[in-house]
A and B are shown apart, each in its own frame.
Chain A
Amino acid sequence: MMEGRTARLHPLKMLLDLITLVKTNIIFVFFLYVIHFGTDSKFWIALQYLFAVFILIAIVYIIFEWCFYRYTVKDEAIHIKSGVIKKSERVVYLNKIQNIQRRSTVIHKIFNISSITMETGESGDNGSIALAAVSRKEADWLETIASTEYIERSGEAIEESLDVIAEKTNDRQIHFIASKKDVLKASFTSFSFFALIPVVFSIYSNVEDFFPVTNKMGDWFSSVMRYWWMIAILLFFFTMAAVAYGVISTYWRYGKYQISSDSNRIYIKKGLVDEVAFSILKEKVQAIEVIQSPLKRILKLAEVKLVSAGETGEDDLKSNSLYPFLPIEKAYDIVHELLPEYKIEPKMTSLPKTALAARLLRPSYLWILSFIALFIFKPSLWYASFAVLLFVYLLRILDFINSRYIVKDEFIQMKSGSFQTSLFLTKRNKVIEIEVGQSRWQKRLGLATIDIVNRSKPIVHTDIVDIPYEAAADFYYWYRMRKKEIRIDRQV
């Protein structure tokens, strides 16, 4: 067993905490010390003192918290000791780490530090380790040791890998960098220019709260509206502003998008000012998902996601997606470069004709409900429920046309969806559970539904409805053979 290496977070962690402290309390500070400056009221003076004491305690707490927070890397695990009053000690095994996220805000960048979060995908306290501020070099090192491929290695391997980092960074291969053209394309296909409208409204309503501008605006507006050329100019400027806003906000989010990889890991980095980086060990990729909205289908673009068992960030910061506006061919090429063993099979089996029959015969509860509701509340409009039925059928038929599947070697690939389609590709050893279902209807038509479960956070179910029963049986026995690919964990 090796000694291990213990470290504290970067001292700038205290500065970051201080900034948050100020940010959250700025209103109180303003209220107590600016508005009530030099007050005579004993009540306010007492409050001012109390608040000062509170801030002082908070600052001392920040310092102590930093002092007591220590992490040690030893015995294939990261040990974290923390807590000022209530002590806690956590252990997270390195081979359980599923993916790594790094974030650098402007402040991080100025001081050459970054925050790093290592996700295990497990629930509870040991689910992830978040180090709020470490030097960049330290972050690189942690990223390397936390995602070394599973081998029964000795302690020295970790020490060794310190030197290997430099080499590793060199053999990193870049697969994609978003060019200006890509960002432009992204901003138009995501309709980002509409984003200005809510922004204008929120500014307007905020301004309205302070100054009653509506009247003046009304006068001004009606004077403008008198001449068509003024309307044209106004529209022109508004459109320009909307486009500019859309492009800039897209650039802010997707500018500097970069996908790279080395022999064992994949790295995705994005963000112009606030940078979000995601990295995952290739063998930890649970599945690949290709999502296409109708517009993207027309433009032959697609979003490709690497499904990870760990957390991948919230909303905008979701970081496991390869550039969401890649031309589909290019996307497939990149997937193949990143994960040579995963190959998206273009030729899949479509559903049999009986599946269409099954879909048309299946009762629509939505329609029945809407029919009953209309019958009770507005009997004269009973026929309107048929619009619902028509829409339901449209969705079903589109899904029938889009549904495809193939089980080949150790891979399974399924595609479905009505308007937005999603293609899911995974390996047998990454599927954690399966189900084959058959309703009476399906039995009569010789069909079945298959459902696979993969790790993600939370787990993902992917199913395909109405495939031939024989294919479902084949799939069932295919899954029984998964022993071939799994490796037994000897650590437990």
Chain B
Amino acid sequence: MKKMYSEIEEPKRCISEKAMKVWRISETLINMGILVVLGIVFYLDVYFEWKKWIGWIIIGLLGLTVLSAIWGIIIEPSLKQKYWRYDVDEEFIQLKSGIWNKKHQLIPMTKVQSVELIQGPLLRKYQLYSISVGTMGSSHEIPAIPQEEAQKLRDQIAHYAKIKEVE
């Protein structure tokens, strides 16, 4: 009976493809905000003739922001969406995510203490919800699920999680 499993079977369900758009927009907004702030500081630096090294640091930060924007807006969203998987059954919530570091998580239903739907303005625009599952010591979030599916999933988790084990 030893060595039955050579691989962990991935959960089946994917998150919405619209998640990519949501992440792209939010990343664009965040990075634009950072660029604006850095731009203002750079302008002040030139105008008031601050010390030389301050200028170099600002230019360095600008460069880093551009790189992280390229990663965060263009590359990351599609990969993140591609690798996100989850599944829910009577016994477990299974989560799988990660681009560089892949994570498989198993959360027993009996240990789920709360389940919550979360929707910010961007998610609302695309009629998506995030589901946050609270356990004894942590909370897990499944991002971007279409409205109807999300509500169904929440009810399902809430139903399964009613059963508690003796501790």
Chain A residues proximal to chain B, CB less than 8 Å: 95-96, 150, 284, 309, 429, 432-440, 443, 453, 455, 458-459, 469-470, 472-474, 476-477, 479-480, 482-483, 486-489, 492
Contact = CB atoms under 8 A, between A and B. Distances in A.
A479 B106 contact: yes
A254 B25 CA distance: 61
Contacts of B3: 470, 474
Contacts of A476: 5, 8, 104, 106
Interface in B60-82: none
Contacts of A472: 8
Contacts of A473: 5-8
Interface string B1-26: 00111111000000000000000000
B107 interface: yes
Interface of B: 3-8, 91-92, 98, 100-108, 110-111, 135-138, 162-167
B101 A438 contact: yes
A412 to B, nearest CB: 14
Contacts of B166: 95, 150, 486-489
A469 B105 CA distance: 15
20 contacts: A433-B105, A433-B111, A433-B135, A434-B106, A435-B104, A436-B103, A438-B101, A439-B101, A439-B102, A440-B101, A455-B136, A472-B8, A473-B5, A479-B106, A480-B91, A483-B91, A487-B166, A488-B165, A489-B163, A492-B162
A443 B136 CA distance: 31
B5 A433 contact: no
Contact of B102 (A434, A438, A470, A487): A438
Given A432-B111, A437-B101, A470-B5, A488 B164 contact: yes
B107 to A, nearest CB: 5
Contact of B4 (A436, A477, A488, A492): A477
Contacts of B167: 96, 284, 309, 455, 489
Contacts of B104: 435-437, 476
Contacts of A470: 3, 5-6
Nearest to A471: B3
B52 to A, nearest CB: 15
B137 A459 contact: yes
A433 B135 CA distance: 9
Given A432-B111, A433-B107, A476-B104, 7 more contacts: A435-B104, A436-B104, A459-B136, A470-B6, A474-B3, A487-B165, A488-B165
A432 B102 contact: no
Which 10 A-B pairs have CB atoms at the shortest separation, nearest pair first?
A459-B137, A486-B165, A436-B104, A473-B5, A489-B164, A487-B166, A439-B101, A435-B105, A489-B166, A432-B111
A433 B103 CA distance: 13
A188 B3 CA distance: 48
A432 B136 contact: yes
A140 B54 CA distance: 69
A453 B140 CA distance: 14
Contacts of A453: 137-138
Contacts of A309: 167
Nearest to A458: B137
A429 B6 CA distance: 24
B103 A435 contact: yes
Contacts of B107: 433
Contact of B163 (A477, A479, A488): A488
A396 B164 CA distance: 41
B108 A432 contact: yes
A433 B113 CA distance: 13
A435 B137 CA distance: 14
A418 to B, nearest CB: 22
Among B100, B110, B137, B164, which residue has the most Cβ atoms of chain A within 10 A? Answer: B137
Nearest to A474: B5
B164 A492 contact: yes
Contacts of B111: 432-433
B101 to A, nearest CB: 5
Given A473-B5, A473-B8, A486-B165, A434 B137 contact: no
A379 B69 CA distance: 33
A483 B166 CA distance: 12
A114 to B, nearest CB: 27
A434 B135 CA distance: 12
A254 B107 CA distance: 40
Contacts of B101: 437-440
A483 B91 CA distance: 8
Contact of B100 (A440, A487, A492): A440
B145 to A, nearest CB: 21
B163 A434 contact: no
Contact of B105 (A434, A443, A480, A483): A434
A438 B137 CA distance: 23
Given A435-B103, A489-B165, A482 B4 contact: no
Nearest to B102: A438
A474 B4 CA distance: 7
Contact of A437 (B4, B103, B108, B110): B103
A486 B8 contact: no
Contacts of B105: 433-435
A224 B16 CA distance: 83
A433 B106 contact: yes
B165 A429 contact: yes
Contacts of A150: 166
A257 to B, nearest CB: 29
A438 B100 CA distance: 8
A462 B149 CA distance: 34
A378 B4 CA distance: 56
Contacts of B137: 432, 453, 455, 458-459
Among B91, B104, B107, B110, which residue has the most Cβ atoms of chain A within 10 A? Answer: B104
